[in-house]
Structure 1
Amino acid sequence: MGELEEPFPGSWAVAAGVVTRWELRHDFVRVFPDVYVRRGVVLDAGGVARAAAHWAKGTGVLVGRSAAALHGTRWLDPGLPAELARRGHSRPPCGIRMVKSEIDRSECCEVDGFRVTTPARTAFDIGRRLPRDEALPILDALCAATGIQARDIAEVAQHHPRARGARQLAALVPLVDGGAESPPESLTRLLLVDGGLPAPTTQLVVRDRYGVFVARLDMGWEHWRVGVEYDGAQHWTDPTQRTRDIDRLAALESLGWRIVRVDATLLYRRPHTVLDRVHAALHSQGVLMDR
């Protein structure tokens, strides 16, 4: 446990002489019953998952977002409950969501000594249980962290054809793409597909006619030379980044590319504007599509 910066069972630490009861009360805070962390340590989603596993004392399997966190998935909300699967009924403490389920051993593995569902089984559960706009960014990030692909998720689904949410999962799996580098990129791609456009290629590399690297686009259609970029706040507030973006856009336009830029306001409040601009860019490149 090193410096006890991660969650640990308090009773074990006291029995092992790692801390005294006085130290446990004054220098650490309780996360779950008999699970503590050093005072001042802020747990990420992985830390919350580990704390829940310590509370279960080896009797449960981390599933869903908690399993995804231990597999290295980024951008997970640590404020959401940890997720554990157990056989039979159980009354978990506040902050832990219990799933009544027995996970097949072939769909479990260990990460840092904790029992979790495999990446593919984790994706299967997330894709069928969460709303699609919540599930897709997590699935994209899980695929990026573990290297699994859509076909791996589909293979697990084949073994559970009657599982609740199977229909939603079947429609979502073809949209999964580990190339997305942030949740907004995933949601931008989902907006485009829901708007009737072909799925764009993610992390699209653009080179000039000599093969020299020019840019890497968040997503786009190389054949039509139309790209879509999601710009976070730093693209507008950092003067150096802003200058780079201007130069980059000029280089792309000189090669015949049309770039549609998206920010949080456009994505979440004016999605129709994004679709209008993408269609206009495609039209300017000679692409005609029904809307």
Structure 2
Amino acid sequence: MPTGRLRRADVDKPFHGVRVLRDASLPEGLETDRWGRALGPAERAHLALALAYAPRMAEGEFFSHITAAVILGIPLPYLLVARSMLHVSVFRPRRLPRSAGVRGHEAKPSLVRTVRDARTGLLTATPATVWASLGRQLTDPYDLVAAGDAVVRTWRVDSPLATLADLEAAVTAGRRVGVAAARLALPRVRTDSASRTESWLRLTLIDHGLPEPARNHEVSADGVYLGCVDLAYPDLKIAIEYEGEHHLLDPEQWARDIARYEALRAAGWVVVQITKAELFHEPAVAVQRVRAAIRRRG
């Protein structure tokens, strides 16, 4: 590549020795995570940086912590990803990676394993190891549980990133920063949760004294399939649905949701729709609405 071409205005210099085309899109297939969820702006930018840094990684270096979580598709809060440097680890006694925008970590072989991510080709810590290392970064316990839910998810996937046994092995392998929080979160992790917000909603209801709801419950009536609801109390025919922004921004999805809710109500179900504002800013209001539905049915 001629030197003059590398100096043009459409070329960025994210790291020493690395040049990338400005505004270049991610490689095909990486705009969504392994479950088909579209990546947010912060996740796309962070993944692009990881792909740009990969060619200059030294032997023994691998992505870890927040960066590995983004690569693997483990859901994290937007601001945490947006404000994070790349996290790159190396096994002792190799030297820590040093570069602007990169945070180096020293890993113990007894605590950390690595794996080559099939989708990106990037070398990361194993999913269970990544989750166990997030106890310090994920200051809200609900986010740590939601990340664990994603790692062990078996609902509508070919295979989970890891098993509950893998998570338990990771948190009992030895001392690491944040492991105490991971140990507390582990008993609350479930294999059939489909999203971070669904995990948050489940935990919010439980911690306000309500019974643990069924997750991603399939509903049929008179032999007709009516749909899958986020959370449910099947015996009471109460469905609890989280209404994220994507529902409103996708007219076709919104139309399908309305038809599904009408079919559920016609079959005798109560549908409680919880908004983002209620879940994250007024959880007591969300809980009260669900409690009122239980009281009516009870």
Same fold (TM over 0.5): yes
**1:83 and 2:96 equivalent?**
no
Unaligned runs of 5+ in 2: 27-43
Secondary structure of residue in 2 paired with 1:256: coil
Equivalent residue number for residue 34 of structure 1: 17
The one-letter amino acid paired with 1:184 is T
Equivalent residue number for residue 228 of structure 2: 216
Shift in alpha-carbon separation, 1:91–1:120, aligned structure 2, 3 A: closer
Secondary structure of residue in 1 paired with 2:212: coil
* CA distance in 2: counterparts of 1:125 and 1:42, whole angstroms: 30
* CA distance in 1: counterparts of 2:136 and 2:211, whole angstroms: 23
* CA distance in 2: counterparts of 1:67 and 1:193, whole angstroms: 30
CA displacement 1:69-104 (0-9 Å, x = unmatched):
333446775533211113466473342222232344
Shift in alpha-carbon separation, 1:216–1:184, aligned structure 2, 3 A: same
* CA distance in 1: counterparts of 2:13 and 2:88, whole angstroms: 19
TM-score (norm 1): 0.78
**1:202 and 2:215 equivalent?**
yes
The one-letter amino acid paired with 1:39 is R
CA displacement 1:211-261 (0-9 Å, x = unmatched):
321111012222332221111235446665555434322322233322211
Matches within 5 A, 1:1-291: 19-26=1-8, 27-41=10-24, 44=44, 45-73=46-74, 77=78, 79=82, 80-86=84-90, 87=92, 90=96, 92-104=98-110, 107-111=113-117, 113-127=121-135, 129-131=137-139, 132-144=141-153, 147=160, 148-160=162-174, 162-208=175-221, 210-236=222-248, 241-286=253-298
Shift in alpha-carbon separation, 1:270–1:113, aligned structure 2, 3 A: closer
* CA distance in 2: counterparts of 1:136 and 1:188, whole angstroms: 12
Q: CA deviation at 1:159?
A: 1.5
Secondary structure of residue in 2 paired with 1:83: strand
* CA distance in 1: counterparts of 2:292 and 2:215, whole angstroms: 20
Shift in alpha-carbon separation, 1:153–1:204, aligned structure 2, 3 A: same
Equivalent residue number for residue 11 of structure 1: none
Shift in alpha-carbon separation, 1:33–1:196, aligned structure 2, 3 A: farther
Secondary structure of residue in 1 paired with 2:7: helix
Secondary structure of residue in 2 paired with 1:40: coil
Conserved? CA contact 1:228–1:262, under 8 Å: yes
Conserved? CA contact 2:64–2:87, under 8 Å: yes
* CA distance in 2: counterparts of 1:241 and 1:50, whole angstroms: 32
Q: CA deviation at 1:42?
A: 5.3
Query: Which stretch has the larger CA shift, 69-78 or 43-52?
Result: 69-78
* CA distance in 2: counterparts of 1:83 and 1:103, whole angstroms: 17
* CA distance in 1: counterparts of 2:251 and 2:62, whole angstroms: 47
Conserved? CA contact 1:63–1:83, under 8 Å: yes
* CA distance in 2: counterparts of 1:174 and 1:280, whole angstroms: 28
* CA distance in 2: counterparts of 1:84 and 1:237, whole angstroms: 36
* CA distance in 1: counterparts of 2:219 and 2:245, whole angstroms: 24
Secondary structure of residue in 2 paired with 1:93: coil
* CA distance in 2: counterparts of 1:241 and 1:69, whole angstroms: 26
Shift in alpha-carbon separation, 1:242–1:119, aligned structure 2, 3 A: closer
The one-letter amino acid paired with 2:229 is L
Conserved? CA contact 1:73–1:141, under 8 Å: yes
TM-score (norm 2): 0.76
* CA distance in 2: counterparts of 1:192 and 1:55, whole angstroms: 47
* CA distance in 2: counterparts of 1:52 and 1:237, whole angstroms: 34
* CA distance in 1: counterparts of 2:252 and 2:138, whole angstroms: 39
* CA distance in 1: counterparts of 2:271 and 2:245, whole angstroms: 18
Conserved? CA contact 1:235–1:241, under 8 Å: yes
Equivalent residue number for residue 35 of structure 2: none
Conserved? CA contact 1:65–1:126, under 8 Å: yes
Q: For this pair of structures, how many residues does the alignment match?
A: 266
Shift in alpha-carbon separation, 1:137–1:100, aligned structure 2, 3 A: same
The one-letter amino acid paired with 1:82 is L
Shift in alpha-carbon separation, 1:22–1:177, aligned structure 2, 3 A: farther
